[in-house]
Structure 1
Amino acid sequence: MKGDEIDPKALIREAYRMAHVGDAECRSILMDWALSLPEGQDQGAALRALLARHGAGAPDHPMTPLLQEGLARIASTGRRGGWRGRRAKP
């Protein structure tokens, strides 16, 4: 799904297609994915959609627990990501 709103560079899709990808490579891919999200995109919603799309069919893939960890961190901190998440609250 090239041009996909939740995976604009198809990074996550390609990571799931890699046969021998490890945790370190998945972490790097996930960071690149997070930086490539369009402004205003809800990271939590995107992570949930990616887990439903890819993680459900590949629970043993190293990307799946990273997506789950990212979602858990967002839920526990309430952080949405992007510059708005780092801006001082008035």
Structure 2
Amino acid sequence: MEKDPNDPRGLIRESFRIDGITAEECRTIFLDWVLTMPAEADIKTVVRALLATYADANDSHPMTATLQDALAQVNPARRRGGRRARFEN
């Protein structure tokens, strides 16, 4: 089998083959996959390519949902609390 440049270790491909895999397990596999991607990789573009490869045949699979969640817009984190919260201790 030829290596997929978007999934060089085959983690995503194999996750779709695991019967009864949970959403939590898919998120763990996805995290492992994303941490091994090159720093210069455009993760959203790669995730779109993976969805194009696997999603049609596996639309109800938890990894499909995990990949779709990776494309969702996330609001940047904000510091909460005022001056008083920063200086209490």
Give TM class, smaller chain.
Answer: 0.7 to 0.9
Aligned equivalents of 1:2, 1:39: Cα separation in 2: 23
Q: Unpaired runs of 5+ in structure 1?
A: 78-90
Displaced runs of 4+ in structure 1, greater than 3 A?
none
Number of residue pairs matched by the alignment: 76
Q: Name the structure 2 match of 1:11.
A: 11
Do the aligned partners of 1:2 and 1:8 also contact (CA within 8 Å) in 2?
Answer: no
**Per-residue CA distance 1:12-60 (angstroms, 9 max, x = gap):** 0000011110011101000001011123111011000010101121111
Larger Rg: 2
**Per-residue CA distance 1:53-87 (angstroms, 9 max, x = gap):** 011211110011110010113xx55xxxxxxxxxx
Q: Name the structure 1 match of 2:62.
A: 62
Higher helix share: 1
Aligned equivalents of 1:68, 1:5: Cα separation in 2: 19
Do the aligned partners of 1:51 and 1:67 also contact (CA within 8 Å) in 2?
Answer: yes
Q: TM-score, normalised by structure 2?
A: 0.76
Post-superposition shift, 1:2? 5.2
Post-superposition shift, 1:10? 0.5
Post-superposition shift, 1:4? 2.2
Aligned equivalents of 1:67, 1:15: Cα separation in 2: 12
